[in-house]
Amino acid sequence: MGNRFKKNICVFCSSSNTLAKEFYADAELFGELLAKAGFDLVYGGSNVGTMYSVAKKAKENGSKVYGVMPKKLHSFGVYSEECDEYYLTDNMRNRKTKLDELSDGVVAMPGGFGTLEEVSEILCHKQLGYNNKPIVFLNTNGFFDHLLEFFQNISDNSFSKNSVHNLYYVADTPQEAVDYLLNYEYGAKEVKPEDIYTTAIAG
């Protein structure tokens, strides 16, 4: 088992209340299992969507919950008052920075453009050696299948090395996601230029 001192896991997911029930069910189960495994939760601070589903269950089962939300969204009244700590940021970029600062790992659950943007930035940072966090896609109902095909297309066409696929893990169930987080080897990892750059030019 990996290094198990207390860790904060950030979730990127949806703020929609109109999803298929399976997405809420997986979010709730993930929040419960995450807490029971001894992790604390970092998330976007909302009281709607799967964001709230995972946060509510995590807190009910013993996690400390950190919420981070831009002032503009907070003014819309979609914030949760159940967080143990709450941070307001000036904008979305600052929000991502704070989420990153607070977290030791990331789980992307099915979501929209915000989720895609957030997890893409963390992946890019890991690729360049700015972090060595576990990055997990919780692939409920095969939601990320087409995105993962696109990731493969990127490397197939030499826009990245095949090794980029080692930067993330795809979990089909909440339990599989939590097991990966439990067994991950946390800590710094050296990244060399040859791990990132390809200098040969196609003929």
Domains in the chain: boundaries:
8-183
Residue type at 115 in one-letter notation: T
Alpha carbon dihedral 78, 86, 57, 143, in 10-degree steps, equals 60
Burial of 92 (0-12, 13-18, 19+ CB in 10 A): middle
**Confidence band for 200, pLDDT divided at 50, 70 and 90:** low
Strand order in the sheet with 65-70: 85-89, 65-70, 40-43, 8-12, 105-108, 135-138, 169-171
What is the per-residue pLDDT for 80? 96
SS3 98: helix
Is 3.40.50.720 the CATH classification of the domain at 8-183?
Answer: no
List, in sequence order, every residue forming a beta bridge with 164; answer none if it has no partner. none
In the predicted model, is pLDDT for residue 107 greater than 80? yes
- DSSP element (H, E) containing 33: helix 21-36
Read off φ and ψ for residue 63, nearest 5 degrees: -75, 145
SS (H, E, C) 105-167: EEEECCCCHHHHHHHHHHHHHHHCCCCCCCEEEECHHHCCHHHHHHHHHHHHCCCCCHHHHHH
What is the per-residue pLDDT for 194? 86
Helical packing angle, 21-36 and 174-183, nearest 10°: 30
What is the per-residue pLDDT for 195? 86
Mean pLDDT of the 76-96 span? 97
In the predicted model, is pLDDT for residue 2 greater than 80? no
What is the per-residue pLDDT for 199? 66
Per-residue pLDDT of 43-77, as tens digits, reads 999 999 999 999 999 999 999 999 999 999 999 99
| C-beta of residue 58 within 8 angstroms of C-beta of residue 41 | yes
In the predicted model, is pLDDT for residue 13 greater than 60? yes
Tell me how crowded residue 193 is: count the other CB atoms within 10 A of its CB: 8
**Confidence band for 164, pLDDT divided at 50, 70 and 90:** very high
Q: How many residues does the chain have?
A: 203
